[in-house]
Structure 1
Amino acid sequence: MARYFYYHVIYVGLINVMIFVPWTLMQHRFNGAVSGMAIAIVAGTLMAYVTTAMFQRFPGMGLPDLVRAFLPRALRIPFNLLGSVVWVTAGILVVYAYSTTIQQFFNPDMNPYLFLLLMTLAGVWGASRCTRTVQFAQEILLLICAPLIIMILFKAVFNPWLDWNAIRVTAGYVNKPPSFVSLCAALFVFAGYNTLAVFNRLIPKGVKIRHLWIIPLFCSFFLLVSFFIPIGFHGTVGVGEFLYIWSLTADSMIMEYGFVYRVLYLFLLLYTALSLMFAMNTWHTAMEFIKACHPKYEPQPDQYPIKAVNWWITLTFGAMTMAYALWSNEERNQWVNQHWLIFRSITDVVLLCLLVWFVIQKKRGHPELVPPSKGATHSRS
């Protein structure tokens, strides 16, 4: 069961290659991005280790269950609503950004809302399933997509057209103090451990998450590749002129494998599945936070058949996505991306502190906690 934890770590690291992190880091490549990445590798690894260790103290329980057990009633609903906002926004930003990318590179004359609607409906359907179904679907999609994406990344690293001098010049700015937004952007690559907020319900007692060295190894690779490879292809100055930086980078490579010639088409196809996976996971997590606001809520990780409330909540997320697309444009979307990255990093620190406090409370003799799969979670009155 512990392998599913690493699926989350890997797909969150991979989605950053396409969506959030590279553009933000490119804007600060001469004034703190490199040192920010170096600090993020250390800080992100430490936060992942500690947060994972804290969740393992509560096997079979998610964050909404811990909030219900340890926090007073007045704080439960605000905390759960805040968690749902963080998670649903992540899915909205990814679906919107990727649908815009597809429209730009595949068919610029296509109605911009058509592909967005299709992706939104697919994300709604996936997110409305039970937690275990979401986890199984994620495993299938990731095992299909991840090896091919990693192959493309390695092909980029060993591409003969890669200018290593441009990479060395940019790396030389490591002595510049890090900018806060670049540090927050780089930290997001390590954020896959946060999915334990809901998926920890599926990790039974006695199962340990081992080999945590996988987190810094894979996430550092994704972070460094997503930043330095576009610089090697487009130059230290030219790279800052592009918005869809990794789409253009993928289009700079070719393959000689049968009918596949332009890497871009394979790259975007793979990231279609990865973006849907990300939306499915984030919206499902947000849905569980919202459902936890109800005083009689009892988590059911293996729920079948699906209740109507799942559809209503996830359809609301879909409507929010369409509304965001009507309001947003390229400039507004990048503004929201950067502020969301900052806000998310702050909530990560708050979550870590809360989990440490929960563990302390447990050691002080808090009433026995019963995992959702074995009974209702005890809570304080």
Structure 2
Amino acid sequence: MLEVVEDIVIVGAGIAGLTTSLGLHRLGIKSLVLESSESLRAAGFAFLTWTNAWKALDAVGIADLLRQQHQLIDRIAIASTIPGEPPSEKPLKTKGKYGEHEIRCVKRKLLMEALERELPSGTIRYSSKVVSIEESGYFKLVRLVDGTVLKTKVLIGCDGVNSVVAKWLGFKKPAFAGRSAIRGYTNYKGSHGFEPRFLAFFGKGIRCGFLPCDDKTVYWFLTWTPSSQDEELEDNPAKMKQFVLSNVHVPDPIKAVVRDTPIDSIVASPLRYRQPWEVLWGNISKGGVCVAGDALHPMTPDIGQGGCSALEDSVVLARCIAEALNEKTGGQTKDRTTEDEEKYKKIEMGLKRYAKERRWRSFELISTAYVVGLIQQSDGMIVNFLREKILSVFLAGLLKKRADFNCGKLSIS
């Protein structure tokens, strides 16, 4: 059995894992990122990146590169899929508490590649699936499928909705929201001709959206409540495409985006979320272990904050760890056991600060996303009235309000 000692181990090379590692690297702290897949993952194609996410990307130093690669979305048009209902269009480029709002649809692949490029060579260890976590004094023993055991002082779970680390902390498996999502993206050889706006449609139990990433790429999604007949859709992109075309009642030029989408650029997945009270009362951190991103707060995509809040987590977490490790201790000479104990306590307090800072924010985002999704996709006279007359008016403002947040800079005092 090979035992390797690492100061900080991050499980999962997704958005939260790589951004946390980069944040630590910017602060002069080394970490090892474990990824179960053989290469960089870019599942989901793209995601809406709101103002709060750009604050985090600025903090880790990769925002400007991504800005050059993606269009600024300046407005949102919300319409019913029921014919005859006029769309409600609202500006997105307005002033908020932390400056002017900034919204772009970022290609996940470009974000992941930008993060990977900025990390020191060897930071990410691919084909490294975690099979168990054990305690050994002030350390955690992380066992990998290949038999390697990593001994670490800090263990960070950024391993998604089925997080091994979240399970170790006592979190339950995320609940099924009762809805599923189909996502796709279309690359055009020339300009697609769409304006820089977020087109959102909902009604009759369907919610869908279309967003340009740049002048040649359009990302789209559809969420719905699946029936037993829809079970085979998830593994059949051709049927997914047909399902979307049959159920989306939108203008032809927009529908053509789905028709033009290659089969290998369409995926489907069930939507899962953490029960909000679990985040309030659960162990976000315990000793030298914590979770971030989807491992902490899986949420439905109805306010577009899953990836954005993962970026926030990463900056806050990197800063809290760096502050803990930089705290001065007494000058007297200590034995190894006392040093380990003091370091453990500092790390524990740092992770507790992170948990405290992220608990209510995570609760707020999960709850808002779930309620908005429920209203957007439910049926019935009262809900239809709320959706058509009230939500469409307030949705743009609500989305901007939840995005009007600044996770702060990486610098530590």
Q: Same fold (TM over 0.5)?
A: no
Which TM-score applies when normalising by structure 1?
0.29
Which TM-score applies when normalising by structure 2?
0.28
Which structure features the higher share of helix residues?
Answer: 1
Which structure features the higher share of strand residues?
Answer: 2
